[in-house]
A and B are shown apart, each in its own frame.
Chain A
């Protein structure tokens, strides 16, 4: 299933009553089973765009389409969602165990308890959470918490997985390991992934394509294909294709990043 972002604009009205353009005429497509990174300097409206795609925010103009979606919309009999979100701050329910967190979306979709448990079990294994099912979020490390976040999103078997800077709250080493882990999961599930980040190395290392957004109002500056083989390894960071892509992207947003600091 492909995701079509069809000329989306979003205008806020701030507290002072002034209108602020967050997104301006953003258009791109994510193909089925593709891993696309959405990159831009802080304040480029990446998260706004992700929320629009998730249906948590209405665009001012334009729309988002899921090509090949079933006629009955978001929920079929097997409780497949169009999209599911992995949050930067994990957003786990502290009063639920890891397993109960993973089952949340299934509960809301009305999946019977027995099937919920089976499906949760599957994603617990897939994300390496076995043995931690009964832990509460505060009893888990940051890396484990985000595994729960990913498993929770995968459990509803969404057409597209939306990830909003999922590893930026983790320390550098954990982040490195989680990136590898996610690539492994992607390899096994072949999910369509739209991955928001402000980290160029991360974007290039993981994605098939990097869509670069400008500062507010967010516009598509470039659509950079990453010509690296899969599976990706850490050593690829030295390859010319990696370095060139990273430099090109940095060139696009460097001035904007400076402006962001000055703001």
Chain B
């Protein structure tokens, strides 16, 4: 029904003479993690290759995946969750095409925050989390995956802790504050806020404990079929990714070294997210300079979700990842 309604809408749109714009609808969250796309739009990198993107803002990651599957947006940029893989398992097509963020050593993004008292009482390592209540947003979220892998890396399992799904990030913060959980796993700026307000201490940054491909750029089935535009979109994206990388992620002598365009990227991000520049400066998520995915990591994720009962069956990588758009685009850019 949704699809046929949409088809009708599209039919009407296409039969109208003035459809020249042909915009690509891009579903994003108003967060720093969407900075690459904001840069691409603001700097006109997409337009350069004849693609006119139209940003569609969402409140949460899951609806972006749903909207992609329903064809309501052409491109999506969000986290890799069990929901996404289950959509593909459910018979819909969504393609993971490019890197949009990694948990990476040296780049603070998500942290495990513990109660002040516990930290002072000697809780200093991941193994000390055994038997503790840990608040996250949802089961099957990126945090759930991340926490599970961190624990497993340290010889524990998810069964050694009590995972408390609190639905919203704010609720998780409140639960830590109210001592209803012992620890939480949340992205910036929450860990910083918890420390600043004095009720939580950052135990460790997720990227240091377990690096992984946390977010990606997705194509809808329909957009992927329009091969040329899809490749052109990637050209713009790759350019934006390099610009972003050089401006905010570059490192020198083991520390971060802001590039010449650092302030510009901060300003663009502030403009699109409506956030305060000083908050935005706290941290930009790492991503590959060319936008290349950690393809093998996605295979690992799928295995993990299946093993832990969040997916009914495994999914061949070829059903969900397609790096050819980006590779073709990168080749074209070299010329």
Do A and B contact each other directly (Cβ–Cβ < 8 Å)? no
Interface residues of B (CB under 8 A from A): none
